[in-house]
Structure 1
């Protein structure tokens, strides 16, 4: 838009050019949408939770050595988690046999039920010996999905660690 001034010169008025305006609007929309997505992702993140991941990575050779020592003990540990259901307490059974196949009596057995994708649902437990080499506890699982059972058995001759991923389904009502 042009206007003429008193001295006869033409003065050009402010005018938005379509292409530069379109480019600025395009990048503004991209920036706003990305900001919204970043905000939503930070509010809803439920990724894997690992404390001190860097330190655990540095200690990996020690983990391998501990696994070799555990394998050399020759213990056989069997975990029965088949009865676990959401919302009701169910038994968790563990059988521990030594190298000769004899029951490991008087061991200290404790563990943790870990929700690997969500904080705040982990459950610690202690298992009691119900028969020679057989240990039991009751566990109530609050949510269905994937869980990790981590059990530590301390007895004469060493320590055994067991970690197992399990899938827990919802309890079936009425039948």
Structure 2
């Protein structure tokens, strides 16, 4: 519903504008009264919808701001028109003050909408090459994309956190030990073997497990990769992995055997191709 910010803003503003015009024309109320009615109606509709499908505080705030500013600005314009009509000076009923106020808030909202859109989708590589500086290390890829890895749904976050605490306590009681890392120096764009060795609290190898590894790019989730390691025997699991970008990656390792689940998190750093 909120995947396209500009569309939802445009449609919402258009509906708010139509509602104001129709109510002002047929209800024969003053512009201020119509503005108040439309503002409360918009809040009464949008807030429950947002609670059901929470888009995030930033997106919620920018929608509410624009949806409220639209009838507010129309109310100012209508009030100015009414005042000048009452004074029988209809030749220049639209004062520059209301226009400047409305344009200011529209410009502010559009800037915020652009920032949110860029943080969610990122800019194209062509635009990035024109506007963003070259990587200092050379040979890298500049991105404006921010993944937004924190879930917007607070109920979902609470449930996940509670599950994580239970899992963490079970891991401590189980006492498994993980030794993980690359067998050679990893280089961006080149395959390298990632190995995980799993042993129980007595040092015995954990065999017959399913070991998965997620490589997460903090600056761009579109580069994330997941691999399933192959068992080599004696609790050793490994697989060749090729990651596209140099720099720091977050690593999440999961070991599943039956109902037992063990998770380990860390980071790894890849060198740039050619030693750049």
TM-score, normalised on structure 1?
0.71
- Distance (whole Å) between structure 2 residues aligned to residue 133 and residue 103 of structure 1: 4
Is residue 110 from structure 1 mapped to residue 212 from structure 2 by the alignment? yes
Deviation at 1:127, TM superposition (A): 0.8
More helix by share: 2
Measured at CA, do residues 109 and 52 of structure 1 come closer, stay the same or move farther in structure 2, by a change above 3 Å?
A: farther
Gaps of 5+ in 1: 1-11
The counterpart of 2:180, out of the listed 73, 76, 79, is: 79
Deviation at 1:142, TM superposition (A): 1.8
Is residue 36 from structure 1 mapped to residue 110 from structure 2 by the alignment? yes
Q: Counterpart in 2 of 1:49? A: 149
Q: How does 1:12-31 map to 2 (within 5 A)?
A: 21=96, 23-24=97-98, 27-28=101-102, 30-31=104-105
Q: Which moved more, 1:40-49 or 1:72-81?
A: 40-49
Q: Which moved more, 1:27-36 or 1:105-114?
A: 27-36
The counterpart of 1:119, out of the listed 221, 230, 233, is: 221
Deviation at 1:89, TM superposition (A): 1.4
Measured at CA, do residues 124 and 61 of structure 1 come closer, stay the same or move farther in structure 2, by a change above 3 Å?
A: same
Measured at CA, do residues 105 and 113 of structure 1 come closer, stay the same or move farther in structure 2, by a change above 3 Å?
A: same
- Distance (whole Å) between structure 2 residues aligned to residue 106 and residue 58 of structure 1: 30
Off by >6 Å, runs of 4+ in structure 1: none
Deviation at 1:120, TM superposition (A): 2.7
Q: How does 1:143-162 map to 2 (within 5 A)?
A: 143-155=245-257, 158-162=260-264
Measured at CA, do residues 71 and 52 of structure 1 come closer, stay the same or move farther in structure 2, by a change above 3 Å?
A: farther
- Classify the secondary structure of the residue corresponding to 2:187: coil
Deviation at 1:47, TM superposition (A): 3.7
Q: How many residues align?
A: 160
**Aligned partners of 1:129 and 1:135 also within 8 Å:** yes
- Distance (whole Å) between structure 1 residues aligned to residue 275 and residue 252 of structure 2: 32
- Distance (whole Å) between structure 2 residues aligned to residue 169 and residue 30 of structure 1: 46
Deviation at 1:39, TM superposition (A): 2.9
Is residue 62 from structure 1 mapped to residue 197 from structure 2 by the alignment? no
User: Using CA pairs below 8 Å that are at least 6 residues apart, which structure has the higher relative contact order?
Assistant: 1
More strand by share: 1
- Distance (whole Å) between structure 2 residues aligned to residue 145 and residue 32 of structure 1: 40
- Classify the secondary structure of the residue corresponding to 2:211: strand
